[in-house]
Structure formats: structure tokens, C-alpha cells
Chain A
């Protein structure tokens, strides 16, 4: 009985957490303009998403979200990998300073990250747009990449790098053949993490996008919601994003479970 109550409590909480998402998913299969009106089952909205029936500004916003996500993930993964190896070889106070700096973007609320970068950009007179969004995203994604690589570096058997050098490998070879392959799982998880963080971001993008009219999916949705009506096609897009994130997370988790088993 006690166990039953406990289980029902968990399921109740989960139902509460998922109810809004499920409603969006259900209403993505009807054509009604207003969410909450059911006008019969239809795949029209999905057809619009894939058949080019989207308005061009929404299309552009999706493209921006994806290209910024991929670029930010690539850049922060490269920066993060190099830095993680550097930090791993730091000791004492230097290491403390680096970990402290690395923690700041993760502890900062995103509105502070956004405003601080906004003020920096206006102070030095940089016009804001695609590049400033990208810089902002790299700045808050890299710490997470580093955190997913550092544990892998710690698990490396000691002195394999030095052993490779003693056996005649150049430092570049030792890095490419010894270190990188062994920390690869961390690098890949870091990349996926950075990608999801970037496409998920709203507040930082809002403050760093400037007035040039560039939008990502989240700032587009925000502007749309403020005007009152939500473009119906957002419903299938949200549903698709949810499923994509679900798949990505399952991949990351299976990877990390496999690694712990080893």
C-alpha cells in the first residue's frame, strides 16, 4: 500500500510535468488557429512545416537556430577540448582561478549573462547580430564542454602521454593518437550538450541579437506570443523539437551508462 502511494505520487508529479507538453503535441494534429480548439484530426500543420508552407520569417528563425547551434557547438567543443587539456595540466592557484572563471557562466542567471554582454557590445560599439549571438553562445556553452571532458582526462592512465613521447612520438602525434581517442566520449557528449544548450537559449539571445531583425526560434516565439497569437505551425515544431531532444538525451545517457560499465 505504502509502495503504491509512493508510486502514484511519482506518476502524479510526472503527469503534471508532462501535461503541457502532451497538450501541445495533441493539438499539433489539428488545424485550429487557437490552441485549445479541436477542429478534427489533420496533418496539415506538419505538411506546412515540411512542405515549405511556413512563413519566411519563421523559416529564417529555424535556420538561424540550427546554424548558430551547430557553429556554437563546434566552436565551444574545440575551445573546450583544448582548454580542458590545459586546465588538466594546471595546478594550485592557477587551476583554482580557471575553475572559478569556468563556473561563472554556469552560476550566472542567463539574464545577467545577456545584459552583461549587451553592455559590453554597446560600450565598445559593436553592432549586434549573428556574430554577437554566436560569441555569447560559445561563452556559456564552453564551460559545460570542459566539465564533460575533465572527468575523462582524470580517468586516463597516468603518463601514457609521456610514454608515447619516450617511444618517439611527437607531441602532436601523442595528442592525436593517445589523448584524443581516450577522451572522445567526453568530447562528443560535450558537443551534444553545447548544441542543446544553444538551441534552448532564449534570454542571452534576446539581449545580444541587436535590432537588425535577426531572430532565433525562441525569440521568434517570444515576439509571436507577445503579439497574442501563436503561429499554429509552432505546435508541430515544438513537438518535433521535444522528440529530437528526447532522442539526443537517450543517446547521451546510453553512452554514459556504457562508459560506467566499462
Chain B
């Protein structure tokens, strides 16, 4: 009876969440399927799929997101592997060094990247955008991979070595499969924000390159709420599908960032 009562303590939060998390998401769907007078319509979606510029932006955002994710994986996996193999105390500090920049405001980090490119007299544009994305999101890739590699039973690697496996074989047959859940988490954590960001592309390409996030923001700013909501819903669906798809592979990393 007593425990029953304490469970009621979750009630205010439930109401809060329904009001300010669930309801707003429902409202996105409502606005996406209505016109400005509130009548049901599919026009927002047909407009998106028939506007060449917006479709191009959509495809381009996905392309940039894939490139960024792959680069983060290529750069981040070796780093995570090296960190998981160095002595515990030192690697803990180094991992913290990798996470630290993540806690600096994303805008500030991006403006700092602009400063770096100015400093090195490099032009802003697509190259700067990809560097800025990798710079912003690399820690999100390293951390989950490091975590799974760190928890991995190292004796499996030793056993494979004792049984005569070459280093390449040990990596492809033991280390890589066992770190799959970390890799999946990393891919999720990098690809989600890269698909939705808008300020980074604006600042790093002097507004020459548009990403999907920018399109949404512009429409919302210009009062085209229904159209903006429709694109946001499309983004949400893509993210939802990817999350469901990777859910099985992903280990629960919740609360692990600190």
C-alpha cells in the first residue's frame, strides 16, 4: 500500500510530459495535415515533394549527414580503440578531454571554427561545413564506442591470439562484432543532430548551403507554420524509423555521458 502511494509521485511529471512533450509533438502532426484556416489537407506534403529546391535540400542534408557520420566513424573508432587499450586512469582523463568541448555552446564552437578557418586563411563553404560538423559531433561517436570496447571481455582477444589468429582476424572477428552496439549508438548520436542542425551550416557557409533544418526554420520564421510543421514531421518520421531500426542493436547508454 505504501509503495503504491509513492508511485503517485510520478503523476505531476506525467501530466507535465503529456502537456509539454507529447502534446506539442501531436500539434506538429495536426499542423502538418491542415492549412492555415485549419482544414484538413495534404497540400503541405505535395508541396514539399514537388518543390525542387526543398527536395534538393533534403537530399543534400542526408548526403552531408552520411559523410559526417562516416568521417566521425573513421576518425573516432581508432581513437576509441586506442583509449580503451591504454591504462585505465589515463584513458579516463583523456576521454573526459574528448567530451569536454561538447559542453561548450554549439554556436560558440561553430564560431570558433569560423575563426579557425579565417585564421588559416581557408575559404568557408562545404569543406568548412563538414569540418565543423565532424568537430562538433566526433565526441558523440568516440564515447559510446569507447564504452562498449571498455566493457568488452579482453580475454576473448587474448584467446583468439593464443589460438593463432592474426591481428586483422582478431579485429574483424572479435573486436568489431563485439563493439557493434557502441558503433550503432555512435552512428545514431552523430547522424541525428547532423540531419537537424541549422545554425552550423548558416555560419560555416555564409548561408550559401542550406540544410533541411534551415528550411524548417525559414518557413517557421516566415509564418508558414503548416509547411514548416510538415517538413518537421518528415524529419521526425525519418528519425523515428532510424531509431526503431537501431533499437535492437543499441545497448542502453542512458545517463552515460558523464
Contacts and interface: CB of A to CB of B under 8 A. Distances in A.
Interface of A: 6-7, 9-10, 13-14, 16-21, 23-24, 27, 35-36, 79-80, 82-83, 85-87, 89-90, 94, 98, 101-107, 109-113, 115-120, 122-123, 135-136, 138-139, 142, 144, 146-148, 150-151, 161-162, 165, 171, 189, 193, 196, 199-200, 202-203, 206-207, 217-218, 221-222, 225-226, 230, 234, 238, 241-242, 245-246, 249, 252-253, 256
15 contacts: A6-B86, A79-B13, A80-B13, A94-B7, A111-B217, A117-B20, A118-B220, A119-B229, A123-B27, A123-B30, A203-B199, A238-B104, A238-B108, A241-B104, A246-B100
B220 A120 contact: no
A93 to B, nearest CB: 13
Contacts of A27: 115
Interface string B1-28: 0111111111111101110111111011
Contacts of A118: 220
B10 A109 contact: no
Contact of B116 (A20, A139, A222, A234): A20
Nearest to A149: B255
Contacts of A150: 255
Contacts of B115: 20, 23-24, 27, 35-36
B21 A139 contact: yes
A202 to B, nearest CB: 5
A115 B229 contact: yes
A87 B7 CA distance: 6
A162 B2 contact: yes
B202 interface: yes
A221 B203 CA distance: 11
A-B pairs, 3 with minimum CB distance: A86-B10, A20-B112, A86-B9
Given A139-B21, A253-B258, A89 B3 contact: yes
Contacts of A193: 258
A9 B8 contact: no
A148 B254 CA distance: 9
Given A20-B112, A116-B25, A111 B3 contact: no
Contact of B119 (A36, A144, A206): A36
Contacts of B255: 144, 147-148, 150-151
B104 A21 contact: yes
A226 to B, nearest CB: 7
A119 B28 contact: yes
B79 interface: yes
Contact of B8 (A86, A203, A246): A86
B27 A89 contact: no
A196 B103 contact: yes
B195 interface: yes
Interface stretch (B43-51, B91-99, B152-160, B174-182): B91-99
B144 interface: no
Contacts of A234: 111
A151 B254 CA distance: 11
B195 A109 contact: yes
Contacts of A246: 100
B98 A135 contact: no
A246 B196 CA distance: 27
Nearest to A80: B13
